[in-house]
């Protein structure tokens, strides 16, 4: 079907030639003896000019009445057009209708979020969503390339797991034959085992949290990229995270400028994302928040509001380290100089976006880890394999996880994570 056809992103290579473009009718208008169709094919949008003296009366009529989102193959001559955003238009010779669409539910008028989310499978065709999906694709490739080029080995962690990684309150339980399993909250624990086998690894995959949070930052299913390194400590993880963020920002700036333009992203803010990023301790962060009038005491976790205020105080992403151990996961190593603190790190994105990375140095002592598992009220049996990593050649090791959707929301400058993944899963959304 695509024989002798061209995609819109490559149309400049056919300047002056007669070609075919396969696509969908995105928009149309008429004026006298001339009709304009906007044809989109996923790679771009091109104006197709239908003139009464160049086509049959049937085709001229069709150009007026064809419903939005009908699928067609347009044949015509590619012509330079300085007014067009892509520099070309098509002087149409023929339009072949593949499938005439029913009245399309999404129109130019402002639809509410619930309506658009119910029609997510169609909403994806819009220019904003198209731009976001392309940036996402570049971002994930860029993150993987960063680790690949540094010699990290890509390892898959299981989705069905016997136990919690990030606290028992946000587990999705599923029937696993005659017992229960849980959808993974993080590939980290398996990543640690893989790091002891391979040195430097990363896990990239979907993660699940039954979080009852209805905020602009929370999905119940999201994707994380999680590096883990043996013989490394907290500062090594921080340096690696800084490099990752600089890489994904520069790759998206270089490769996605048309898409960032569609989203009206202020690029000057992204151009500031250069190393070094500020590094604060949690205790310093609390002092800053108090100075800014926030009602928060040492020991409390930073919520969305606190993270927004804190990250809003800096132009660049900011690392916050050494959180109170009580508010962090069981696997975090304690600060040897202060037992109340965990060797944890979060990275807060600027412009109020807040946490996009969480990680730190892992507890490498068998005794301390057994103690933490008890303290957190976790069952030791399904974690015996994890304790083995401390029994057989334990080493200092560290890593982190970056949530793809939160990183993308920030880089694209969009408000809510629901637009950063093709089919978001939220507290109140499992359809489509």
| CA neighbor of 21 nearest in space, from 8, 10, 38 | 8
344-349 and 34-40 strand pairing: unpaired
Query: Which among ligand 4AD, Mg ion, none contacts residue 219 (Cβ within 5 to 8 A by kind)?
Result: ligand 4AD
Structure tokens of 64?
């007026």
Indicate which single residue of 44, 317, 401, 424 sits in contact with ligand 4AD (rule: CB under 6 A).
401
Determine, following the binding rule CB under 6 A, whether residue 370 of this chain makes contact with ligand 4AD. Answer: no
Rule CB under 6 A: is residue 218 a binding residue for ligand 4AD?
Answer: yes
Assess 354 for contact with Mg ion (CB under 5 A).
no
The residue range among 149-157, 209-217, 298-306, 351-359 that interacts with Mg ion, by the rule CB under 5 A, is: 351-359
**Binding residue count for ligand 4AD, defined by CB under 6 A:** 24
CA 147 to centroid of chain Cα atoms:
17
**What backbone torsions phi and psi does residue 356 show, to the nearest 5 degrees?**
-120, -15
Quick check: 130 binds ligand 4AD (CB under 6 A)? no
358 counts as binding Mg ion under rule CB under 5 A:
yes
Using the rule CB under 6 A, give the single segment among 95-103, 176-184, 302-310, 397-405 that binds ligand 4AD.
397-405
Q: Which is nearer to Mg ion, 209 or 265 (CB)?
A: 209
Closest separation in Å from C-beta 224 to ligand 4AD = 5
Q: What is the dihedral of CA 235, 406, 209, 289, to 10 degrees?
A: 60
- Nearer to ligand 4AD among residue 6 and residue 166 (C-beta): 166
Q: For residues 216 and 107, is the Cβ–Cβ distance under 8 A?
A: no
Integer-rounded Cα Rg, in Å, for the chain is: 26
Nearest 5°: phi and psi at 412?
-85, -10
Nearer to Mg ion, 60 or 323 (CB): 323
165 binds, among Mg ion, ligand 4AD, none (CB under 5 to 8 A by kind): ligand 4AD
Q: How far is the CB of 346 from ligand 4AD (least distance, A)?
A: 7
Q: Does 165 bind ligand 4AD (CB under 6 A)?
A: yes
CB-facing half-sphere around the CA of 162: CA atoms within 13 A: 11
Residue 356 as a binder of ligand 4AD (CB under 6 A): the answer is yes
Matching residue, tokens 């587990």: 171
Question: Which positions from 222 to 261 touch ligand 4AD by CB under 6 A, shown as an x/- string?
Answer: x-x-x-----------------------------------
Q: Does position 188 bind ligand 4AD by CB under 6 A?
A: yes
| 8 A C-beta contact, residue 221 and residue 384 | no
Span interacting with ligand 4AD, options 74-82, 280-288, 372-380, 403-411, rule CB under 6 A: 403-411
Specify the residue, 47 or 140, whose C-beta has the smaller distance to ligand 4AD: 140
Q: Between 24 and 223, whose beta carbon lies closer to ligand 4AD?
A: 223
Could you tell me if 161 and 170 are in contact, meaning their C-beta atoms sit under 8 angstroms apart? no
Q: Which is nearer to Mg ion, 354 or 358 (CB)?
A: 358
Q: Which residues bind ligand 4AD (CB under 6 A)?
A: 165-166, 186, 188, 209, 211, 218-219, 222, 224, 226, 355-359, 399-403, 405-406, 417
Q: Which residues bind Mg ion (CB under 5 A)?
A: 358
């Amino acid at each position: 079907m695509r024989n002798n056809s061209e995609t819109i992103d490559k149309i400049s290579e056919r300047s002056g030639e007669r070609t075919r473009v396969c696509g969908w009718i995105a928009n149309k208008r008429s004026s006298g003896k001339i009709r304009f169709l906007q044809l989109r094919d996923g790679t771009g949008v091109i104006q197709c000019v239908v003139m009464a003296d160049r086509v049959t009366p049937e085709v001229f009529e069709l150009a007026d009445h064809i419903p939005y989102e009908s699928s067609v193959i347009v044949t015509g001559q590619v012509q330079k057009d300085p007014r067009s955003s892509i520099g070309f238009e098509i002087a149409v010779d023929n339009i072949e209708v593949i499938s005439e669409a029913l009245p399309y539910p999404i129109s130019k008028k402002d639809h509410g979020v619930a309506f658009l989310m119910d029609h997510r499978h169609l909403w994806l065709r819009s220019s904003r969503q198209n731009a976001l999906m392309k940036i996402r694709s570049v971002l994930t490739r860029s993150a993987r390339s960063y680790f690949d080029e540094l010699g990290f080995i890509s390892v898959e962690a299981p989705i069905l797991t016997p136990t919690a990684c990030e606290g028992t309150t946000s587990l999705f339980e599923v029937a696993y034959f005659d017992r229960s399993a849980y959808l993974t909250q993080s590939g980290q624990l398996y990543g640690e085992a893989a790091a002891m086998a391979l040195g430097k690894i990363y896990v990239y995959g979907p993660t699940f949290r039954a979080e009852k949070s209805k905020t602009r930052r929370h999905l119940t299913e999201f994707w994380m990229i999680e590096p883990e390194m043996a013989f490394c400590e907290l500062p090594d993880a921080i340096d690696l995270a800084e490099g990752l963020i600089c890489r994904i920002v520069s790759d998206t700036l270089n490769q996605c400028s048309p898409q960032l333009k569609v989203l009206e992203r202020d690029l000057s803010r992204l151009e500031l994302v250069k190393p070094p990023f500020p590094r604060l301790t949690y205790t310093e962060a609390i002092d800053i928040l108090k100075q800014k009038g926030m009602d928060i005491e040492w020991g409390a976790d930073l919520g969305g509001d606190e993270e927004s205020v804190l990250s809003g105080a800096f132009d660049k992403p900011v690392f916050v380290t050494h959180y109170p151990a009580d508010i962090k996961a069981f696997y975090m190593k304690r600060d040897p100089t202060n037992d109340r603190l965990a060797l944890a790190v979060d990275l807060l994105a600027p412009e109020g976006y807040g946490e996009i990375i969480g990680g730190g140095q892992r507890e490498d002592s068998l005794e301390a880890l057994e103690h933490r598992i008890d303290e957190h009220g976790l069952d030791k049996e399904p974690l015996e394999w994890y304790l083995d990593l401390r029994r057989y050649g334990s080493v200092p090791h560290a890593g982190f996880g970056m949530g793809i959707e939160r990183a993308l929301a920030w880089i694209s400058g969009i408000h809510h994570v629901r637009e950063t993944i093709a089919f978001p899963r939220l507290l109140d959304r499992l359809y489509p």
